[in-house]
Amino acid sequence: MTAPRTPSATPHGLRRDAVIVGGGHNGLIAAAYLAQAGRDVEVLERDAIPGGAVSTVERFPGHRIDRGSSAHLMIRHSPVLDDLDLAAHGLRYIDCDPWAFVPATDSAPAIVFRTDLDATCASIERSCGARDAAAYREFVATWTPRAAAVMDAFYQPATMGRFGRSFLGLGSTASSARTGVIGRRGGEMLNLTDELMAPGDALLDRWFDSEHLKAGLAWFGAQSGPPMSAPGTAPMIGFAALMHRIPPGRAVGGSGALTDALVSRIGADGGQISCGDPAVSITRCGDHWRVETASGDRRCTPTVISACHVLTTLDLLAAGGFDPATIERWRRDIVVGTGIGMAVRLGTTALPEYQGLPDDLPAHGVHSALGLLVTDRSHLVRAHSAAAVGELPPRPAVVAMSFSAIDPGLAPECRHAINLWAQWHPYRLAAGDWADAGAAAAEAVCAEVDRHAPGFAESIDHRFVQTPADLEEELGMIGGNIMHVEMSIDQMFMWRPTPDLAGHRVPGADGLFLAGASTHPGGGVTGASGYIAAHAVLRRRRLFG
Ligand SMILES: Cc1cc2nc3c(=O)[nH]c(=O)nc-3n(C[C@H](O)[C@H](O)[C@H](O)COP(=O)(O)OP(=O)(O)OC[C@H]3O[C@@H](n4cnc5c(N)ncnc54)[C@H](O)[C@@H]3O)c2cc1C
């Protein structure tokens, strides 16, 4: 345990080795790596509590409810948890197994995705037939190395060279009718890149026959926001293959348990986290940066990692005198999008009783899983199309999670904590506003659960609604986009959030680094941008002292 540091005072404020603006999980992970390396680091967080969209609070008496994320699908595929030894700081995951299910239709039982591929294929065979079960087995074999390569690329700075290296050698996962060694290899690489760039829907149509299965996988892939008709969305479905290696994890105590462990880790290494006082400007002062907060406090530091929304970072730079014309150009280049969705948090007297489940489930049934409550892709298309013109979805697409069944500490005895995430909901409504529309939209979300688990609506004791407007207001997610900026292929990798601002740096702002969902590799609980930015800072210090 390192004692908290006492920073020295300078004319520009308290001196720190590094200041992190934004205490979301990416900012905290960046801080934890720097503190672990012996740097005197302080995190400045706007909100009263740290963690941003990775935080859990008591919304209803005795119920621990997530404010943002609930299931951690990606971070368990990264080096972060082990590097920072977060288990020693209290972080414990329960494997979500089953990790997903698609509800029953009138003619077929539910499809249940287990970590075990054989069990999953057996379920697909019962619901969709032997051909799709065999196709799914082959799909997982083909996409596991591809999805692993994508994850590899996620935890490295996004450069053309590294990107290419991540996918080199994957040609053999594609086939080609071309002849000759060179012709065949070239053909395989072309087919591989074609599949990686394909829309998710095209990928599903290539592999499977059953609309039931395609709908479930399409809804899984659409969690990042873009519809599965968009180019470059195929890998978001291919990521499902990796769930048979490490399934989604549920942090015991709620999503915010990750943040609690990071706070403990940073404190143990002498770092500081200051909440409830937002940064209001970032100003260049000679060879240092001055970060000022709303209370008038100042920090003087050679290194800033700005881990809040990139548009907020641009505001802070503008307030610090950075060239306004350049900022305006970057601002126009960044597409936040029209909003993704809304959340409904419930306290209930019972778990949803889904119809048509197989009888070979573990004791907790499907309550460890992401309930992918969509059985036909037309449901997704209608919801997305409505949102594109500012309307509420005729029927929202819902992911239902009932993790109090596997972590009873989340709710009082005989009670449950249910998280519902629903898409697509526009940030700007064509008619009216969210203050009026929120309650009816939340009813529609609950009705989707009730459709597959009749009687569920009557079990609801408490309800907390987060519309896109609420997500912006509470969590600072501009435009209600939970991924900060659109996860379309033109804003991923070397292009996120714009080519100028990719690389986790700001041109003309030496010593200022970017992290957070606005930067490569984007939103979701990955910790990747915090990891990359911290390593860029440490590498720079090694090179330049
Ligand atoms: C309702 C919801 C459900 C989700 N579900 C999932 C899920 O199940 N699985 C998943 O993987 N992902 C999910 N996500 C997405 C995921 O949680 C986010 O993409 C991710 O947590 C973003 O983390 P971050 O650290 O990059 O940014 P954020 O969490 O946005 O953190 C940025 C921080 O910066 C702070 N800040 C802003 N302005 C200032 C300022 N001026 N000064 C100081 N601090 C400032 C904010 O208060 C915030 O704490 C969900 C998100 C939401 C909202």
CA of 489 to the centre of ligand 1 (A): 21
Here the tokens at position 414 are 């005989």
CA of 497 to the centre of ligand 1 (A): 16
- Mutation test of ligand 1: which of 55, 69, 223, 305 has the most ligand atoms closer than 8 Å to its C-beta? 69
CA of 467 to the centre of ligand 1 (A): 15
- Give the pLDDT mean for 332-354: 97
pLDDT, one tens digit per residue, over 178-230 is 999 999 999 999 999 999 999 999 999 999 999 999 999 999 999 999 999 99
Atom of ligand 1 nearest to the CA of 477: 30
Q: Is the peptide bond before 98 cis (omega within 30 degrees of 0)?
A: yes
Beta strand extents in 257-351 (DSSP E only): 272-275, 279-285, 288-293, 298-301, 303-306, 341-348
Atom of ligand 1 nearest to the CA of 341: 1
pLDDT, one tens digit per residue, over 89-105 is 999 999 999 999 999 99
CA of 529 to the centre of ligand 1 (A): 12
When pLDDT is cut at 50, 70 and 90, the band that residue 542 belongs to is low
Task: List all residues whose CB is within 6 A of at least one atom of ligand 1.
Answer: 21-27, 44-47, 52-54, 68-71, 73, 278-279, 307-308, 312, 343, 421, 466, 471, 475-477, 482-483, 516-517, 523-525
When pLDDT is cut at 50, 70 and 90, the band that residue 42 belongs to is very high
Arithmetic mean of pLDDT over the chain: 96
- Give the pLDDT mean for 406-416: 97
pLDDT of the residue at 14: 87
CA 86, CA 186: separation in Å to the nearest integer?
44
Task: Please report, in angstroms and rounded to a whole number, the separation of the first and last CA atoms in the chain.
Answer: 26
CB 527 within 8 A of CB 488: no
CA 193, CA 164: separation in Å to the nearest integer?
11
Residue ranges of domains in the chain: 9-56+73-93+254-335+485-544, 114-246, 338-479
- Give the pLDDT mean for 510-530: 98
CA of 343 to the centre of ligand 1 (A): 14
Cα dihedral 276, 315, 29, 346, rounded to 10, equals 60
Atom of ligand 1 nearest to the CA of 308: 34
CA of 22 to the centre of ligand 1 (A): 9
Which percentage of the chain shows pLDDT scores above 90?
94
Query: Nearest residue CA, atom 35 of ligand 1?
Result: 22
CB 276 within 8 A of CB 47: yes
For the domain bounded by 9-56+73-93+254-335+485-544, which CATH number is listed? 3.50.50.60
Identify the DSSP state of 336.
-
CB 54 within 8 A of CB 475: no
pLDDT, one tens digit per residue, over 243-270 is 999 999 999 999 999 999 999 999 999 9
Handedness of CA 490, 305, 467, 419 (dihedral sign): positive
pLDDT of the residue at 165: 87
pLDDT of the residue at 169: 85
